[in-house]
Chain A
Amino acid sequence: MFKPKSVAMVGASATPGKIGHVILQGLMKGFEGRVYPVNPHEEEILGLKCYPKVAAIPKQVDLAVIAVPAKLVPQVMRDCGKKGMRGAIIISGGFSEIGNKALEDEVRRIANKNKIAVIGPNCLGVYDSYSKMDTLFNPRYKMERPREGGISFISQSGAVGAVVMDWAGAEGFGFSKFISYGNALNIDEVDLLDYLGKDPSTKVICMYLEGTRRGKDFIKAAKRVSLKKPIIGLKAGKSDEGAKAVASHTGSLAGTARVWEAAFRQAGVVEARSMPEVFNYARAFAEQPLPKGGRVGIITNGGGFGVLATDACIENGLEVPPLAKKTAQEIRKKVPSYATVKNPIDLVGDSDYLRYEAAINALLKDKSIDSILCIVLFQTADIDSRVISVISEASDLAKKPIVCCAAGGEYSRLHSQLLEEAGVPTFSSLKAAADTLAAITYYDEFRKSVRK
């Protein structure tokens, strides 16, 4: 699916803007495999020879990307079977999602009989930033594609997936694979989890889910995978539609939301409650080491933000312990007497990058601190871009996670972006920063508790 040597684009179109045209264009940008457009009404599309049907392609083909009207899909799938293909991505809609279950069942029978693994139907398909395999039918000038990286994303919804891709592209998040799997004909979220669990270029798995047909298998697979790499889950549709007819307390209490929360917890899936949260967590997992525990060291150049950060950490079940004596002594040597050398460490409003350097290095050495929340208020006169190199250099070598918080206007945003590009997750809100530290701490605890 992600690295085929050859692809048949069934339903290729010569008309710019049509789905079959956009996908073909996408497959011609960087993807190294051979591409065979299939359309009985065209001789040539975008300079490629066009074939009337799959059987007419002279060579062996690995994968079919199918974007033809739903009613034609069974015939195309039979052709693919005869051609000996093992994979198909069916982009076309018009199946069970509009009540046409019989047609979907027919396609499933053909697929299973011919041993064809299918992504879709009714989906966007896949994107692989390394192989440049790209079946997404949203044109590139409207929807960006993310750069290479360690985040992979599984989306049940194509629309949500498209927004995620565009956004991740614009924000500069590094992606490995994206899969929109639609109606899950014979590959579902459980299979995809297992696959991404074994995929070496995937470091973090993000999932957008609306439901599952294999709840218990999902838990098993997710638990297996999350021992190896983190999974972040966003579950949509947690409210119960209407009251169930139940005759017990348990039946009335254990609704969809609580059961999904339980399933995530049992499997070690880190639950996110919004799409921004998914990426806050994903960035931290992708770029920072895991903390060994929940003890946070806070650095700030504004006292108020230190207090707010402490509250945000405590609310998340993290600790903000007093500094070790040695740590405090070391910092005191390098900061003026009016700085507060406690936890949070308040370097005060006239702090420059050197005070940050002293505080960060001391906290990195301190064995009673597991992670660092570094607040930089760029509004002050003495802070400049040099603090970015201090933080990013420390972060490169650190064995504990460092996240930053920089709130404010244009100047702050610019510097946040620089930090972000240097691999330091940087947030505009303390809550987001603390939530993220809590999420990576929780994941580490899960792994330890299961291994024990």
Chain B
Amino acid sequence: MLSMKAGFALLDKYGIPTAKFAVVKRVDAAAKAAKKIGYPVAVKIDSPDIVHKTERGVVAANLKDEAELRAGVKRVLKRAGKARVRGIIVQEHCSGKEVIIGGTCDAQFGDVVLFGLGGIFVEVLKDFSVRVTPITRRDAKSMVKEIRGYPLLAGTRGEKPVAIPTIVNTIIKASRMLEREPKIKELDINPLFVDEKGVKAADVRVITY
């Protein structure tokens, strides 16, 4: 699995916006990085042993000042337990709706891309769409529209719609990335935050061959 830094570099290469972040070793450096990024921030542990960060409790989000940051770092380090820690990630706080764009390699069709709403929608309700690469604009549009949770993105109860055309572009970029980077075996851009203005990847998991 690529480190988060390498994963984000890959997203940058394909024009997928990522949240500002820094990887540090100690709490003092974390405070310095947070000041530079600007509060509020999130901190999380970068470890090759931890695949699901939220489930392991190694994420502390929406930390508003240095005191909260220091407490947050302490907490996530404790929760990481015996896992190898590559670093502490300090990241700009993201808001909006969470979606996932992923990729995997199918035995018969090769690379495929997945799209869904983040969290329970994908995992529990299995509400996601799939297409085989290369993905056309028509395919990408229908991927977004065919999930049951689509109205949540299109805006319900007076909410403004999120930037759906940007999601469509991001799906196409992910398709291109999978095609051009044969070393990628599996990919989760999760969560990808999306609001009215655009998208921002807050975490990425890249499993290589």
**Residues of B contacting A329 in the complex (Cβ-Cβ under 8 angstroms):** none
Most buried by A among B123, B132, B139, B207: B132
Decide: A250 and B114 in contact? CB cutoff 8 A: yes
Decide: A216 and B188 in contact? CB cutoff 8 A: no
In the docked arrangement, what's the CA distance between A52 and B62, Å?
86
**Residues of B contacting A249 in the complex (Cβ-Cβ under 8 angstroms):** 100, 102, 114, 122-123, 188, 190
With both chains docked as a complex, state the minimum distance between the C-beta of A354 and any C-beta of chain B, in angstroms.
Answer: 45
In the docked arrangement, what's the CA distance between A261 and B186, Å?
20
* A-facing residues in B170-209 (Cβ within 8 Å): 186-188, 190, 205, 207
Q: Which residue of B lies closest to A211 (CB)?
A: B108
In the docked arrangement, what's the CA distance between A256 and B108, Å?
9
* The one of A212, A248, A262 that contacts B112, using a Cβ cutoff of 8 Å: A262
Main secondary structure, interface of B, reads strand
**Residues of B contacting A247 in the complex (Cβ-Cβ under 8 angstroms):** 1, 51, 186, 205, 207
In the docked arrangement, what's the CA distance between A215 and B116, Å?
23
Decide: B114 and A254 in contact? CB cutoff 8 A: yes
**Residues of A contacting B106 in the complex (Cβ-Cβ under 8 angstroms):** 215, 254, 256, 259
Decide: B186 and A248 in contact? CB cutoff 8 A: yes
Quick check: is B93 within 8 A (CB to CB) of the other chain?
no
**Residues of B contacting A216 in the complex (Cβ-Cβ under 8 angstroms):** 109-110, 132-133
Q: Which residue of A lies closest to B118 (CB)?
A: A249
Decide: A254 and B188 in contact? CB cutoff 8 A: no
Quick check: is A246 within 8 A (CB to CB) of the other chain?
yes
Decide: B130 and A259 in contact? CB cutoff 8 A: yes
Decide: B207 and A253 in contact? CB cutoff 8 A: no
**Residues of B contacting A248 in the complex (Cβ-Cβ under 8 angstroms):** 51, 102, 104, 186-188, 205, 207
With both chains docked as a complex, state the minimum distance between the C-beta of B174 and any C-beta of chain A, in angstroms.
Answer: 10
Decide: A254 and B205 in contact? CB cutoff 8 A: no
**Residues of A contacting B95 in the complex (Cβ-Cβ under 8 angstroms):** none
**Residues of A contacting B207 in the complex (Cβ-Cβ under 8 angstroms):** 247-248, 251
With both chains docked as a complex, state the minimum distance between the C-beta of B205 and any C-beta of chain A, in angstroms.
Answer: 6
Quick check: is B72 within 8 A (CB to CB) of the other chain?
no
Decide: B108 and A266 in contact? CB cutoff 8 A: no
With both chains docked as a complex, state the minimum distance between the C-beta of B101 and any C-beta of chain A, in angstroms.
Answer: 9
* B-facing residues in A208-262 (Cβ within 8 Å): 211-213, 215-216, 219, 246-251, 253-254, 256, 258-259, 261-262
**Residues of B contacting A263 in the complex (Cβ-Cβ under 8 angstroms):** 109, 132
Contact pattern, B 117-158, Cβ under 8 Å of A = 1, otherwise 0: 000001100101111110010110010000000000000000
Quick check: is A147 within 8 A (CB to CB) of the other chain?
no
In the docked arrangement, what's the CA distance between A256 and B123, Å?
17
Count A-side interface residues using an 8 Å CB cutoff. 24
Count B-side interface residues using an 8 Å CB cutoff. 32
With both chains docked as a complex, state the minimum distance between the C-beta of A231 and any C-beta of chain B, in angstroms.
Answer: 16
**Residues of A contacting B103 in the complex (Cβ-Cβ under 8 angstroms):** 250
* The one of B104, B122, B131, B136 that contacts A251, using a Cβ cutoff of 8 Å: B104
* The one of A213, A250, A261 that contacts B108, using a Cβ cutoff of 8 Å: A213
Decide: B132 and A266 in contact? CB cutoff 8 A: yes
Q: Which residue of A lies closest to B134 (CB)?
A: A216
With both chains docked as a complex, state the minimum distance between the C-beta of A44 and any C-beta of chain B, in angstroms.
Answer: 48
**Residues of A contacting B129 in the complex (Cβ-Cβ under 8 angstroms):** 262
Quick check: is A46 within 8 A (CB to CB) of the other chain?
no
Quick check: is A450 within 8 A (CB to CB) of the other chain?
yes
With both chains docked as a complex, state the minimum distance between the C-beta of B178 and any C-beta of chain A, in angstroms.
Answer: 10
Contact pattern, A 387-409, Cβ under 8 Å of B = 1, otherwise 0: 00000000000000000000000
Known: A247-B51, A249-B100, A449-B138. A254 touches B112 (CB 8 A): yes
Most buried by B among A212, A216, A248: A248
* B-facing residues in A335-380 (Cβ within 8 Å): none
**Footprint of A on B, CB under 8 Å?**
1, 51, 100, 102-104, 106, 108-110, 112, 114, 116, 122-123, 126, 128-133, 136, 138-139, 142, 186-188, 190, 205, 207
List the 9 closest pairs (A to B, CB-CB), nearest first.
Answer: A250-B102, A215-B109, A248-B186, A262-B130, A251-B104, A215-B108, A251-B186, A248-B188, A250-B114
Beyond A215-B106, A253-B122, 18 extra complex contacts between A and B, CB < 8 Å = A212-B108, A215-B109, A215-B132, A216-B133, A246-B186, A247-B51, A247-B186, A248-B102, A248-B186, A249-B123, A250-B186, A251-B102, A256-B106, A259-B106, A259-B108, A259-B112, A265-B142, A266-B132
| Sampled A-B contacts (15; CB under 8 Å) | A215-B106, A215-B110, A216-B132, A247-B51, A248-B207, A249-B114, A250-B103, A253-B128, A254-B112, A256-B106, A259-B108, A259-B130, A261-B130, A265-B142, A266-B131
